[in-house]
Amino acid sequence: MNFNINKKNSLSPVFSARKIKSVDRLLLLVHAGGRCEFDGCNKYLLEHHLTLTEDVFGEMAHIVAFRPAGPRGGESPLPSNINAMNNLMLLCPLCHKLIDNHPEDYPRKVLEEYKTLHERRIRYVTDLGPDRKTTVLILKAPIDGQTVAISFDQVVDAVAPRYPSSREGTIIDLTSITDHGPEFTRVAKSTIEERLRRFFEPGGEGRKAEHISVFALGPIPLLVFLGRQLTNKISSDVYQRHRDNEKWMWEKNGTPVNYLLKRRRVGVKNKVALVISLSGKIPLEALPGPVRRENTIYELTLYRITPSPTFLRLRGDLERFRVAYLEALGEILQRHGLLNSIDLFPAVPASAAVLCGREMLPKVHPRLRIFDYDKSKNGFHFVLEV
């Protein structure tokens, strides 16, 4: 059923013979959240998509038609009231035409399920209180010349049952930096520092936030640097993009992974390297010569699992990494005493790289000298220190 607006700005049906009560029209609009209830459509129907004019652009569709010869009109038992809200769906014109022109593909049971699931989701979302609000922080940088876009819909799916405090979020965009040598790292560090300074200054989004959701993709050293700039005074979650499905949502089921710290080489006491082999195995031959010859080398890796780029599937796996990483730093300090710095060689997912920086305690942990793998040289080179 179409909606018209009369001169008094009240809703009136195009076909008055259907006699849908005003309360049922209102209830349907509210229960549907003003969106098309066809599964997968979800189009917003209270605003014109081009002019942004506010109006009612949806149609009231009968699940069981008000005429026996109409779509699904012969299905029994008939609703006690054809025009009641429980027999109506709010649909966009295209979806309304689809279900009525092809009733054999969209029987009553299917449409009732669409309606129930949609309205249940709207009720769930509107039940979320202010304590579920999160401020979204996005860092995007080119990796091997490629940049991955992070859409708002992906963010919404990932943070549920939280919800973003704004559609825009705070974006640190490093894609416009054209120099990809040492100058890239310098400019990128400066950009991250300045953007986060404004983020956490009085009146900034970070200062007002009670929770932060971090979505970051970029070179591993810069992700560690980003994590180091984040304050641990505000609760935050870091999300991971999964390569197989390109989504950011944590899986709900799976086999948990555990981590193992090993000492690979005994060297000079005050020179320590920490190799983190998670996304791939790092051979000692890939480390710089002085490190191989002089440093005591530790390796944090997966327990009884071959390192792989796709191992990180569960939120709990990232939390277990956080604990294992802090325990590794604690054991190193216990064995080696006060250190000025630790050489860090990470082969880790992006989210784990952020944690490597975020979990550092300024008055406890030494600085990290971060190395990155250079394919052209088949080995690691120093990039930055945090």
* CA 53 – CA 338 distance, rounded (Å): 65
Give CA separation, 157 vs 121, 163, 209, 239, 297, in Å: 13, 9, 20, 11, 40
Give the pLDDT confidence score for residue 348 in this predicted structure. Answer: 97
Query: Which residue spans within 1-124 are E strands per DSSP?
Result: 3-5, 11-13, 59-62, 88-91
Give CA separation, 122 vs 22, 131, 136, 363, in Å: 21, 18, 22, 47
Contact criterion met (CB below 8 Å) for 325 and 360: no
Read off the DSSP letter of residue 18.
G
3-state secondary structure of 258: coil
The vertex-359 CA angle with 140 and 280, nearest 5°, equals 65
Question: Does domain 259-385 correspond to CATH entry 3.40.1350?
Answer: no
Write the burial class of residue 247 (CB in 10 Å: 0-12 exposed, 13-18 middle, 19+ buried).
Answer: middle
Question: Does domain 130-239 correspond to CATH entry 1.10.238?
Answer: no
Give the pLDDT confidence score for residue 243 in this predicted structure. Answer: 84
Give the pLDDT confidence score for residue 198 in this predicted structure. Answer: 92
The closest of 105, 103, 93, 112 to 41, measured between CA atoms, is 93
The vertex-384 CA angle with 381 and 386, nearest 5°, equals 135
* CA 31 – CA 115 distance, rounded (Å): 9
Give the pLDDT confidence score for residue 6 in this predicted structure. Answer: 41
* CA 38 – CA 41 distance, rounded (Å): 6
* CA 376 – CA 144 distance, rounded (Å): 12
Contact criterion met (CB below 8 Å) for 90 and 119: no
Contact criterion met (CB below 8 Å) for 271 and 277: no
3-state secondary structure of 331: helix
Mean pLDDT by 10 residues, the chain (386 residues): 42 50 94 96 94 94 88 85 94 96 95 95 77 90 77 90 87 83 89 93 85 94 95 86 90 94 95 97 95 97 95 96 97 95 97 96 93 87 95
Write the burial class of residue 49 (CB in 10 Å: 0-12 exposed, 13-18 middle, 19+ buried).
Answer: exposed
Pairing mode, strands 367-374 and 379-385: antiparallel
| Identical fold between 130-239 and 259-385 | yes
Q: What are the boundaries of each domain within the chain? A: 3-127, 130-239, 259-385
The closest of 93, 350, 364 to 243, measured between CA atoms, is 350
Give CA separation, 191 vs 65, 157, 207, in Å: 60, 28, 19
